[in-house]
Amino acid sequence: MEIVILDSTERIASAAADAVEQVLRTHETPVLGLATGSSPLPVYREIVRRHTEDGLSLAHARAFLLDEYVGLPHGHPESYREVIRRELTGLVDIPAASVQGPDGGADDVAAAGRRYDEAIHAAGGVDLQLLGIGSDGHIAFNEPGSSLASRTRLKTLTEQTRQDNARFFDHVDDVPYHVLTQGLGTIMEARHLVLVATGEGKAEAVAAMVEGPVSQVCPASVTQMHPHVSVLLDEAAASRLRLADYYRHTYAHKPAWQGL
């Protein structure tokens, strides 16, 4: 796990966008895993900027979303499908048909989950998966207690997550109770995980993920078992890491050609 502590959201966005750009430029059919939430938004803005100003193309890319609410009407502005279209995929040249998300509106949600895992597999797997982290240590919508081997399936949100996400809705009562989310086992099959976390509110979850035991209590801690993880943090999100100085030292002495 590589821990990168940077002094601004812009530098974090730029480092993550560099990794995405590298995949886009080196793969014939790059497969990106996209996360929602506010943490990846500066990364998406930077990708859109590079597309608009530098001609970075996503025309041959495919994209898979991490998760989706269950029960929101099709086209609801806060459905993750709509959020990602607004913030990224609708602003670049990726064909709409190349963007997939879990079908939270399916009659048989369990079958939709299985189909989604099959679709990711059929696309050759995810080359680079962007991730945020919930304040309770969830990734995608794998709440504490999630099986570390789980596949895409229905989950029930914790009250903390519903409260955290209430800011996107008129009222907390409007936040769905259920979601269809990639499982931890699904996410762990992506070839490179790039997790972005900023702000003091994430410090505890980040410390548990990076330096705590691998445990269902902090689902993000499963990433300790992944061979290629980059964790991009600002100072506030890194503030509870015991080995922060060592992570800074390692990054400062990293060979320039290595990338994330």
Q: Among 21, 143, 164, 234, which one carries the catalytic annotation? A: 143
Q: Is 228 a catalytic residue?
A: no
Rounded distance, CA 46 to CA 85, Å? 15
Give me the residues paired with residue 131 across strands: 195
Which among 51, 76, 138, 192 is annotated as catalytic? 138
Per-state percent for the chain, helix, strand, coil, to nearest 5? 40, 20, 40
Nearer to ligand GLP, 56 or 120 (CB): 120
Nearer to ligand GLP, 56 or 153 (CB): 153
Closest CB 238 distance from ligand GLP, rounded Å: 16
Q: Report residue 253 CA to chain centroid gap.
A: 27
Amino acid code (one letter) for 243: L
Q: Establish whether 138 is a catalytic residue.
A: yes
CB of 93 to ligand GLP, least distance (A): 25
The residue (of 56 and 183) whose beta carbon lies closer to ligand GLP is: 183
The closest alpha carbon to 41, from 73, 81, 9, 71, belongs to: 9
CB of 134 to ligand GLP, least distance (A): 5
Nearest distance from residue 60's CB to ligand GLP, in Å? 25
d(CA 149, CA 147): 5
Q: Would residue 249 show up in a list of annotated catalytic residues for this protein?
A: no
Q: Note the residues at the interface with ligand GLP (CB under 6 A).
A: 35-39, 66-67, 132-134, 140-141, 161, 165
Active site residue 136: yes
Q: Which residue has the tokens 């890194």?
A: 238
Q: Are 149 and 185 in contact (CB under 8 A)?
A: yes
Please identify every residue annotated as catalytic: 67, 136, 138, 143
